[in-house]
Amino acid sequence: MTGLLVVTAVPAEAEAVRAGLPDPSTAVLPVGVGPAVAAATTARLLALAEAAGRPYRGVVSAGVAGGFAGRADVGATVLGSVSVAADLGAESPAGFLPVDELGMPPEWLGGGLALAADPGLLAALRAGLPTATVGAVLTVSTVTGTAASTDALRRRHPDAVAEAMEGYGVAVAAAQAGVPFAELRTVSNPVGPRDRDAWRMREALAALTTAAAALT
């Protein structure tokens, strides 16, 4: 059995994780942006490892994220207690309807719209990152960019601390493979009106390197 598989969206995140790893043999691979490509690539990596007789003992979705102000501010490290498919659903005159409210059974959704982190893996990461903020991390295909959308997400997900684009996809791949899953993020910008000048990507990547020490 091999160690952890750490997947990021882009190479810069993978490089930041590798820079802080205590064990250079840990696999760290960029799998692409968005839940679909992240799920497909992670599933392939897990299947190849299992077929080779060297299955991974866990998979972590890692990278930068937007943080909900007052819950996870810029520079914070976040551990996802649950990864949520936050924009999978339908519009209606009454507002957004999550897809499970449209009559879709959980097995059609890879286990549901909210997939919890593995308790043991999450506990190990919390022990290594005692100051990290723990809460729901929302997975979206369209990054939130208005105050109205931010307020709507806050109302629908009062336990959400951050927003990213891959966690739920990786969680589905891990669940299908029977492999423990967790999500680790560092905050580069507040969720809300889009303002690239307010992003602190360099600081978030540096925080990701620091947090990677917990990935033992």
- Each residue of 84-123: pLDDT tens digit? 988 766 666 766 756 665 566 655 556 567 899 999 999 9
DSSP secondary structure string, 24-80?
TTSEEEE--SSHHHHHHHHHHHHHHHHHTT--EEEEEEEEEEEE-TTTS-TT-EEEE
CATH classification (class only), 2-214: alpha beta
3-state helix, strand, coil in the chain (%, to 5): 40, 30, 35
Bridge partners (DSSP) listed for residue 137:
83, 162
Look over the chain and give the mean of its residue pLDDT values, rounded to a whole number: 88
CA gap 171, 158 in Å, rounded: 21
- Is this structure's pTM higher than 0.75? yes
The pLDDT-based confidence of 63 (bands split at 50, 70, 90) is: very high
Domain ranges of the chain: 2-214
Q: Please write the tens of the pLDDT for every residue from 160-206.
A: 999 999 999 999 999 999 999 999 999 999 887 777 777 788 999 99
Residue 1 has pLDDT above 50, yes or no: no
